C-alpha cells in the first residue's frame, strides 16, 4: 500500500496532514527517510517509523464506551456534546462512529469504531444480535407483561415488535416502581421506551448492559472508554450469551 495511506489509516491524520508530516522528514521506511506519500510499503514486513519509533499498521479501531446521559450518539451536533467528544485528542479520528444509537438520556454500552462492515453485521435485523437493557420502570411490571413481550406485540402506533425476554429484578409495590432487564434483538427507534408505553408504563432510567455476548465493563466510569480486546470483539458478534 502507499505510505500516505498507511499513515492515514494508522491515525496520523488526513492525507493532507500526512503529506505535511512526510515533508518534515520524520518518517522512515526500513531506516531510510521517505518524503513521498506514493512510496509503496508492505504493512506486514516493512519497518515504518516516526522519529525512530516503529508504527504498527492498524486500519480498524474499536472502543467500548460507557455512555453517560446528556451526550448524543452522533458524530457531530450543533448544540449537544456527542459521544466522539468524549475521546481524547490521541484517540479521536474523523472516521469513528457509534454502532447504533442510544437516546440522549440512556446510559451504558456503546461501541465506537471505524469498521463499517462490523456495524452493518451488528445492526442488521437479520442477525438477531441481543441487546440487553436494565431499566427502572414507573409502574408494576407483571407476569402478563412478560408473556406479552415473549409473544411479540403491536406498539401504540401499530408497529410490531418481535419476541423479547423480560426479567423482573425487583418490584416496589408501595412506590409502584419496577426494576427489569429486557433482551431484544431489534433496534427500533426508542424501542424499549415504546414497548413499556404499550403496556401503560414509563421507563424512567435506561442502561444498555450487553450487545451480543459482550457486557459493559463496569470498571469503566460514566464517560470513560477503552479499546476492545480481540476476545471482546468476538464476543460482540456472538449471538448466544450463556451468562445471565
- Residue ranges that bind ligand URA, judged by CB under 6 A: 102-103, 106, 190-193, 206
Q: In whole angstroms, what is the distance from residue 20 CA to residue 191 CA?
A: 47
Is 4 tagged catalytic?
A: no
Q: For residue 187, give the nearest of 108, 114, 99 by alpha carbon.
A: 99
Shortest approach of ligand URA to residue 139 CB, angstroms? 15
Shortest approach of ligand URA to residue 210 CB, angstroms? 13
Query: Closest CB to ligand URA among 21 and 203?
Result: 203
Query: Closest CB to ligand URA among 132 and 232?
Result: 132
Shortest approach of ligand URA to residue 146 CB, angstroms? 18
Residues 6+ apart with CB under 8 A from 31: 47, 49
Q: In whole angstroms, what is the distance from residue 7 CA to residue 168 CA?
A: 50
Say if residues 152 and 162 touch (Cβ distance below 8 Å). Answer: yes
Shortest approach of ligand URA to residue 68 CB, angstroms? 13
- Which residue is catalytic, options 46, 91, 95, 103? 103
Query: Closest CB to ligand URA among 55 and 148?
Result: 148
> Cα dihedral sign for 24, 29, 31, 36?
negative
Beta strands in 96-159 (DSSP E): 97-98, 106-113, 131-138, 153-154
Catalytic residues: 103
Amino acid at each position: 500500500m502507499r505510505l500516505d495511506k498507511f499513515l492515514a489509516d494508522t491515525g496520523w491524520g488526513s492525507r493532507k496532514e500526512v503529506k505535511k508530516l512526510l515533508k518534515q522528514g520524520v518518517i522512515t521506511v526500513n531506516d531510510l527517510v521517505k518524503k513521498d506519500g506514493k512510496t509503496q510499503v508492505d504493512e506486514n514486513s516493512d519497518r515504518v517509523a516516526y522519529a525512530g519509533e516503529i508504527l504498527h499498521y492498524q486500519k480498524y479501531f474499536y472502543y467500548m464506551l460507557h455512555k453517560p446521559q446528556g451526550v448524543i450518539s452522533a458524530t457531530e451536533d450543533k448544540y449537544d456534546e456527542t459521544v466522539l467528544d468524549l475521546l481524547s485528542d490521541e484517540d479521536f479520528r474523523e472516521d469513528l462512529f457509534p454502532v447504533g444509537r442510544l437516546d440522549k438520556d440512556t446510559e451504558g454500552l456503546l461501541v465506537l469504531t471505524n469498521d463499517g462492515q462490523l456495524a452493518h453485521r451488528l445492526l442488521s435485523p437479520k442477525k438477531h444480535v441481543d441487546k440487553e437493557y436494565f431499566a427502572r420502570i414507573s409502574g408494576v411490571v407483571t407476569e402478563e407483561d412478560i408473556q406479552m413481550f415473549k409473544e411479540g406485540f403491536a406498539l401504540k402506533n401499530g408497529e410490531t415488535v418481535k419476541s423479547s425476554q423480560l426479567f423482573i429484578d425487583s418490584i416496589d409495590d408501595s412506590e409502584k416502581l419496577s426494576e427489569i432487564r429486557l433482551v431484544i434483538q431489534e433496534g427500533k427507534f426508542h424501542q424499549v421506551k415504546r414497548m413499556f408505553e404499550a403496556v401503560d408504563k414509563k421507563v424512567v432510567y435506561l442502561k444498555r448492559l450487553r450487545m451480543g455476548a459482550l457486557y459493559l465493563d463496569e470498571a469503566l466510569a460514566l464517560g470513560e472508554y477503552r479499546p476492545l480486546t480481540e476476545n471482546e470483539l468476538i464476543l460482540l458478534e456472538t449471538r448466544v450469551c450463556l451468562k445471565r
